[in-house]
A and B are shown apart, each in its own frame.
Chain A
Amino acid sequence: MKNIIIEIKGLKKDYQVGEVMVHALRGVDMKIDDGEFVAIMGVSGSGKSTMLNILGCLDKPTGGEYDFDGVNINTLDRDALARLRNNKLGFVFQAYNLLPRTTALENVELPLFYNNKIRSKERKERAIAALESVGLADRMKHMPNQLSGGQQQRVAIARSLVNDPRIILADEPTGNLDTRTSFEIMELFQSLNEKGRTIVYVTHEPDIARFATRNVIFRDGRIQKESQVNERLYARDMLKSLPAEEFDEM
């Protein structure tokens, strides 16, 4: 029996926009086990991002229960939530959200600055290790505007990894990237997952969803369908199958 990392029951999120009440989530139940690799799918506006933001403790639900790693999130105050994000969660955004005019290394170091237990030497070592693990050992001193989109996203992934989180949450991590770069990011996720990292990501593209082990499909604020992935894709193989002329640089 595996550990359950995330367990939500009847999760609701309403937004009041003027007179209108928008029901972004209308009662979602879900469990995510340790080591799982879950892709969340669904049409635009179905509540995927809302869901992921709540899972990442970036937003608060208006109803329902959320247990993360055995702790009921509703009982935590703002500071405790910040500590949780700092210690146990890694978030990857569609828009990368790197600090501008800040080197890749410093961007990756950032979460560790908010962890008192980590001295500056260890902070640097861990940031370097994280950047190496995403294949950017030679781009440490680069600023975000000196990096390609795929490289920026890999810096963001390194940043989400640097605190050794229990789970990585990624909202459309390949949304701004071309096919090949998307595959590279998924290859990175798959190898992280093989090493035991739990990953949940949102995607629009059915192909990208097939790199996961489980798919959850949202519709109108509810889970419409859940399924194990039958013919799972492996990004390494997919990259090889791409036309040769695109393999000019890695």
Chain B
Amino acid sequence: MNYSNLFRIAIRALLRNKLRAFLTMLGIIIGVASVIAMLALGEGSKMSIREEMSSMGTNMVMVMPNSQRRGGVSLGSSGSMALKYSDVTALRNEAGSITSVSPEVRASGQVIYGNQNSQTTIYGISEEYLTIKKLEVETGRLFNSQETKSMAKVCLLGQTVVEDLFGENVDPIGLSVRIKNLPFQVIGVLKEKGESGMGQDQDDMILAPYTTVQRRLAAIDYINGIYASAVTEEKSAEAIAEIEEILRRSHKLKESDENDFRIMSQSELIETVSSITDIMTLLLGAIAGISLLVGGIGIMNIMFVSVTERTREIGLRMSIGGRGKDILWQFLVESMLLSILGGILGIISGYLIARLAGSLMDSPVFVTTRSVVLAFVVCFAIGVFFGWYPAKKAAGLNPIDALRYE
């Protein structure tokens, strides 16, 4: 049989039973669309989390005091007080694998302007902090070393704080706010940063010199953390090792002593988070796999349900001179056409569903080639196999047996 005949026969057979063709295709469409939509959502949220974490600086290294308990015994106050400003100085002077380093002292409390107030966190920092955490000053300026030295009551506000206190259309620079009842002069406003990957508002913050926060607001002599930038992201591990060595030395820890601090790098954190989102994608993939299976079973059912009618059709085709391979080719072409068409429609609707769900859930979507290929190949294989297999069985019968099949 020549190819044009083959296609004509297959297309006529499909058109002859549009409902059956449509139902078969529907199975494929559902299978492909759900896989693509699921994976697009999973992939999209993974990407966005990763992106936001990178926006905080992939080469950032954090040092926290180790407040872990060991053997049921608290390490005591020394745990959370382990870090001192002298550690920052030591790192600044000795560590070659980091470019900048800043202390962090946190105080939380109420900030008041006029009759407006807001509960927020005040971060006491040095100037390098902004570079390390990729923060930017939008208007105004950063405090200088003179102000740090003199524990000046100056501050920079995050966008959320600005909105809470001043509403819109007010330039807060030069105005005075009260933080924990102390008057602070606003010298700058930070650029908006949005939510972090963890859903934390990164604009709900006030920055001030660490000396001011440490002495005037928190009244402590230690610091809560140290932030540093490794030379490059790849050098993060090296930086961690170097920081550990320097801090152990400056803390005068003995060989047998455990670290009284913890060091984490942003790149490690990104890895941890993306492994979590990988699991999420896997889960969504499993759900998608199930819908693929359901779609596949749908295809199978339709194909098998129509087998009686089609076996007689095959018997008739053989009785008027169709050879086994003519019949098989016809069914193969039929199921390939259905699978391809269904696959394409599935890809389109999967993409649209992902977009819709993404905008409803306000999460990004990302359709990967991998998911498209996977969904298409699996559905195509199922569609073609179950279109072809009953035909193969029927085409192996004597024409008269196929004709009499019931």
Partner of B399, one of A58, A87, A102, A106: A58
Contact partners of B9 in chain A: CB under 8 A: 113
C-alpha gap A2/B317 in the complex (Å): 32
CB closest chain-B residue, reference A80: B323
Partner of A99, one of B5, B16, B324: B16
Contact partners of B1 in chain A: CB under 8 A: 113-114, 116
Contact partners of B403 in chain A: CB under 8 A: 58, 93, 97
Contact partners of B215 in chain A: CB under 8 A: none
Contact partners of B12 in chain A: CB under 8 A: 102, 106
C-alpha gap A221/B40 in the complex (Å): 69
Does B169 touch A at the CB level, under 8 Å? no
C-alpha gap A86/B322 in the complex (Å): 7
Partner of A114, one of B4, B326, B400: B326
Q: Is the CB of A85 within 8 A of B5?
A: no
Contact partners of B326 in chain A: CB under 8 A: 82, 114
C-alpha gap A53/B403 in the complex (Å): 11
B-facing residues in A37-91 (Cβ within 8 Å)? 53, 56-60, 78-79, 82-83, 85-87, 91
C-alpha gap A99/B4 in the complex (Å): 20
Q: Is the CB of A79 within 8 A of B321?
A: no
Does B106 touch A at the CB level, under 8 Å? no
How many chain B residues have a CB neighbour from A under 8 Å? 28
Does A243 touch B at the CB level, under 8 Å? no
Q: Taking each of A79, A82, A86, A102, which has the highest tally of chain B beta carbons within 10 Å of its own beta carbon?
A: A82
Q: Is the CB of A113 within 8 A of B8?
A: yes
CB closest chain-B residue, reference A93: B403
Q: Is the CB of B400 within 8 A of A58?
A: yes
Q: Taking each of A58, A91, A99, A159, which has the highest tally of chain B beta carbons within 10 Å of its own beta carbon?
A: A58
Task: Say yes or no: A101-B17 contact (C-beta < 8 A), given A59-B400, A60-B398, A106-B12.
Answer: yes
Does A115 touch B at the CB level, under 8 Å? yes
C-alpha gap A58/B402 in the complex (Å): 10
| Chain A interface residue bracket vs B | 20 to 34
CB closest chain-B residue, reference A89: B321
CB closest chain-A residue, reference B309: A100
Q: Is the CB of B320 within 8 A of A111?
A: yes
Contact partners of A57 in chain B: CB under 8 A: 399
CB closest chain-B residue, reference A101: B16
Q: Is the CB of A111 within 8 A of B313?
A: no
Q: How many whole Å from B329's CB to the nearest CB in chain A?
A: 11
Does A163 touch B at the CB level, under 8 Å? yes
Partner of B323, one of A53, A60, A79: A79
Q: What string of 1s and 0s marks CB contacts (under 8 Å) between A139-162 and chain B?
A: 000000000000000000001000
A-facing residues in B259-317 (Cβ within 8 Å)? 309, 312-313, 316-317
Q: How many whole Å from A147's CB to the nearest CB in chain B?
A: 16
Does B318 touch A at the CB level, under 8 Å? yes
Q: Is the CB of A82 within 8 A of B312?
A: no
Q: Is the CB of A91 within 8 A of B16?
A: no
Q: How many whole Å from A105's CB to the nearest CB in chain B?
A: 12
Does B93 touch A at the CB level, under 8 Å? no
C-alpha gap A113/B10 in the complex (Å): 11
Q: What string of 1s and 0s marks CB contacts (under 8 Å) between B373-406 and chain A?
A: 0000000000000000000000000111101000
Does B2 touch A at the CB level, under 8 Å? yes
Q: Is the CB of A114 within 8 A of B321?
A: yes
CB closest chain-B residue, reference A143: B16
Contact partners of A82 in chain B: CB under 8 A: 318, 321-324, 326
Does B319 touch A at the CB level, under 8 Å? yes
C-alpha gap A212/B16 in the complex (Å): 38
Q: Is the CB of A114 within 8 A of B323?
A: yes
Q: Is the CB of A79 within 8 A of B320?
A: no
C-alpha gap A110/B309 in the complex (Å): 17
Q: Is the CB of B400 within 8 A of A113?
A: no
Contact partners of A100 in chain B: CB under 8 A: 16, 309
CB closest chain-B residue, reference A102: B16
C-alpha gap A114/B329 in the complex (Å): 12
> Which of A's residues lie within 8 Å of B, judged by CB?
53, 56-60, 78-79, 82-83, 85-87, 91, 93, 97, 99-102, 106, 110-111, 113-116, 120, 159, 163
Instruction: Other than A99-B316, A114-B5, give 7 A-B pairs with Cβ distance below 8 A.
Output: A57-B399, A85-B319, A85-B321, A86-B322, A91-B319, A114-B317, A120-B8
Q: List 19 A-B contacts (CB under 8 A).
A: A58-B400, A59-B401, A82-B318, A82-B323, A85-B320, A86-B321, A86-B322, A87-B321, A97-B312, A101-B16, A110-B317, A113-B1, A113-B5, A113-B9, A114-B320, A114-B321, A114-B326, A116-B2, A163-B321
